[in-house]
Chain A
Amino acid sequence: MSGKVYPIPGGLHPPEHKTESNAKAIIVAPLSAHYVVPLRQHIGQPARALVKAGDSVLKGQMIGAPEGRISAAVHAPTSGRVVAVEARPVAHPSGLPDQCVVIEADGKDTAADMQPIAWRDLPPGELHQRLVNMGLAGQGGAVFPSHVKLATGGTPIETLILNGAECEPWITCDDRLMRERATEIMQGAEIMRHALGAKRILVGIEDNKPEAAQAMQSACEQLKLAAEVTAVPTRYPSGGAKQLTQLLTGLETPSGKISTDIGIQVFNVATAYALQRAVELGEPMLTRVVTITGHVAGPCNIEARLGTPIDELIRLAGGDLAETSGHVIGGPMMGFDLDDTASPLVKSVNCIIAKNQELFPPHPPAMPCIRCGQCALVCPAVLQPFELYWHAKSKNFAKARAYKLFDCIECGCCSHVCPSHIPLVDFYRFAKSEIAADDRAKLAAEGARQRHEFQLLRQEREKKEKAERLGKKASERLDTGAVAADDPEAERKKAILEAAIERARQAKEAVHAKNTESLTPDQQHQIDEIEARRQAAPQDSEQQA
């Protein structure tokens, strides 16, 4: 059943820790009392809130609309009342709060009208338009809005890859999903293939998940779907999109490009599952399967609604054991520390690991780099991590860039093997975000400079035009005045006065016309909103009085 596997550079094999949580069937989480739904659960622009405090919502009702091209909608996970739209703690490496819609469940779980999509009747390249408001986003970790990925761009898509590698230790949510719901996943894959017009489907699953691979294979046979299920070697980071692409096709995704540029599109198996539900049931993305494992009483996989507070999920897994020292969101190689367990489950969270000192010992003190090159041996991007470290540490960002910092996928292999225990990836993340901020500042400064120069140019032009007009008027006046000039002095004064009035009028005109003609719809929208508030403001004060 296994197709050809091509070699990839680097990688390693950390202790798997999969058996803790992969034996039990997926548990469906009961209805929660309240849900916190962040408006930003994906890469790109956050969704725009469509509800305000006090509104009633139904399960599956869109409460945040996608804003801009790369954005995804968010939906109410159950029926109830919106309590607040405010900043709440979320699962983010910064630990900063973000805008969330807080919903109090009414317990009825009344669903909004959901219509299946007749996808077989839609020509390829149209389905994605129907999915814009379904809130689908990649569940592998990058959370890229799926409808954007399903839109066929310039290069035709030859190959659709389903990513079931799940290479990070501890995580088993895709494993369980493939074992239990392989048919739905493969139906989702069929829809994807139709939407993309892809010729073949490849499924990559690490060879430590034979049950999942078997289930997927049977699903393909049952659906009579010509898909190739391939067992790839268990070697982190085989589940990286670029890595899996190379493992299955031997093709390298060019730097700075995406796989579609070489005719390949990669989706996570869980995304295929969510797509199947969205298309066949008309249900937007409301739930996901998440692994709760590590130092908890009963590690397991839970299918929970997005917005469920994470502490509730931990309770469902039996709760934290004594001496839990914190929680990791995602896998131990690429995840991040969770600051507040009240944070809600979001589309990107595939795993929650409770830490203790034994499973996750504190980071030992770092030693100087001895350039041993162990990091270079495991780097899947064939970088020289110690050189990058050198430049990132000394904040020599131009050099770090020249050593291809932005080809780093932050997989953590280099930090994992470093005998000096240097937190290499932290240095790369630091350097990357500094460079990105610097680029943003440069862009903003460049824009400001252009606008300022344009303003100077405009003022110059206005001054010149004004002077010309004034000169013309004055000379006309003098021409006529020369014929019947009984009092040239009075005439001259009149001319000056008129010129002054003209100048004032001109200035007024200039001001009036200025700056309002080329507003973006966004800005116009803002202005309208403020005008509306202004209209409302006096009434408010009257009521108070």
Chain B
Amino acid sequence: MISAIIVMAVIGLVLGSVLGWAELFYRVAGDPLADKINDILPQTQCGQCGFPGCRPYAEAMAKGEADINRCPPGGEPGIQRLADLLGVEAKPFGEGVAPKPKSVALIDENTCIGCTLCIQACPVDAIVGASKQLHVIVADLCTGCELCLAPCPVDCIHMEVVHETVNNWKWRYPLIPIHQQREAA
């Protein structure tokens, strides 16, 4: 009896100290979870989630302070990936946040006064131009965050939906007859 207790106690002690040691020596610097979440986020830096950028939102999610359904640019697949990563149920977008079709901002060349306000607002440096000169949005770099719309004093920026072209066209999921039958049945 006594020996059993001693054996158990010693095992507990040894395992406990191994765990304690591991905790100290294998500690990961930074927050790997926030990094992983940030990798899923679309990096539009649009702030629609209520945080000033993707990274802060990722950190809040990692701490469990923010919900996973607040990133409209990520769309449903984004929520699904976050849910998979965090081991929670996927949920629909909340009130007032809904994904929009992917768009890019476009500056009306004839109205722009070259005030540079949009350049300062762009979180991803996708607008080029200089003071009193026409600004141009580099469409390939634009994430469609719409943050440049509000600061423009002459309202010369509008969003243009990215249409499907031969270049970005994707093959569709094959609709094989058995699926149609199943739907009909």
| Contact (A448, B174) CB under 8 Å given A40-B166, A512-B130, A527-B134 | no
**Residues of A contacting B136 with CB < 8 Å?**
523, 526-527, 530
Interface flag for B127 (CB, 8 Å): yes
Q: How distant is the Cα of A453 from the Cα of B109 in the complex, in angstroms? A: 29
Among A444, A526, A534, the most chain B Cβ lie within 10 Å of the Cβ of: A444
Q: Is B143 an interface residue when CB atoms closer than 8 A count as contact?
A: yes
Q: B138 and A367: CB pair below 8 A?
A: no
A439 to B16, CA, bound (A): 44
CB–CB B123/A455 < 8 A: yes
B17 adjacent to chain A (CB < 8 Å)? no
Interface size band for B: 35 or more
Report if B60 contacts A (CB, 8 A): no
Q: Are A430 and B171 in contact (CB under 8 A)?
A: yes
- The answer on a CB contact under 8 Å between A429 and B129 is no
For A540, the closest partner residue in chain B by CB is: B110
A446 contacts partner chain B, Cβ-Cβ < 8 Å? yes
Q: Which residues of B contact A533 (CB under 8 A)?
A: 109
Interface centre among B54, B124, B126, B130 (most CB of A within 10 A): B124
A433 partner, pick from B126, B127, B166, B170, beta carbons under 8 A: B170
Within the assembled complex, what's the spacing in Å between the Cα atoms of A237 and B169? 27
- Chain A residues lying within 8 Å of B45, measured Cβ to Cβ, are 448, 452
The verdict on A16 contacting chain B, using a C-beta distance below 8 Å, is: no
When the two chains form their complex, are residues A96 and B143 in contact, meaning their CB atoms are under 8 A apart? no
Q: In the complex, A453→B55 CA distance in Å?
A: 9
Instruction: Please report whether the interface of chain B is mostly helix, strand, loop or mixed according to DSSP.
Output: loop
Q: In the complex, are the beta carbons of B174 and A515 less than 8 A apart?
A: no
Cβ contact within 8 Å between B173 and A430: yes
- Taking the closest CB of chain B, its distance from the CB of A293, in whole angstroms, is 26
CB distance A455 to B134 under 8 Å? no
- What's the least CB distance linking B100 to chain A, in Å? 16
Cβ of A98 within 8 Å of any chain B Cβ, yes or no, is: yes
Bound-complex Cα distance A432 to B130 (A)? 42
Within residues 80 to 135 of chain B, which ones have a CB less than 8 A from any CB in chain A? 109-110, 116, 119-120, 123-131, 134
B130 touches A449 (CB 8 A): no
Within 8 A of B (CB), among A430-448: 430, 432-434, 437, 441, 444-448
A residues 523-544 in Cβ contact with B at 8 Å: 523, 526-527, 530-531, 533-534, 537
Given A40-B166, A96-B166, A527-B134, verify A445-B171 contact (CB < 8 Å).
Answer: no
- B169:A96 contact, CB within 8 angstroms: yes
Interface-facing stretch out of B19-27, B35-43, B61-69: B35-43
Does B178 belong to the interface (CB within 8 Å)? yes
Proximity bits, A156-187, B CB within 8 Å = 1, else 0: 00000000000000000000000000000000
Contact residues in A for B42 (Cβ distance below 8 Å): 441, 445, 448
Assembly CA distance A526 to B131 (angstroms): 18
Contact, CB under 8 Å: A514 / B119: yes
Q: Which residues of the partner chain A approach B30 to less than 8 Å between Cβ atoms?
A: none
Contact: B141 with A432, CB < 8 Å?
Answer: no
> Assuming A40-B166, A452-B123, A511-B120, is B128 touching A516 (CB within 8 A)?
yes
Contact with B along A124-166 (1 / 0, CB 8 A): 0000000000000000000000000000000000000000000
Given A455-B125, A515-B128, decide whether A437 and B166 contact each other with a Cβ distance below 8 A.
no
Q: Which of A437, A447, A454, A533 has the most CB of B within 10 A?
A: A447
- Residues of the A chain whose Cβ atoms lie less than 8 Å from the Cβ of B125: 451-452, 454-455, 515
- 7 A–B contacts from the bound complex (CB under 8 Å): A90-B166, A365-B178, A430-B174, A433-B169, A437-B168, A449-B43, A455-B125
Closest 7 CB pairs of A and B: A365-B177, A426-B174, A448-B43, A366-B176, A94-B169, A445-B43, A429-B171
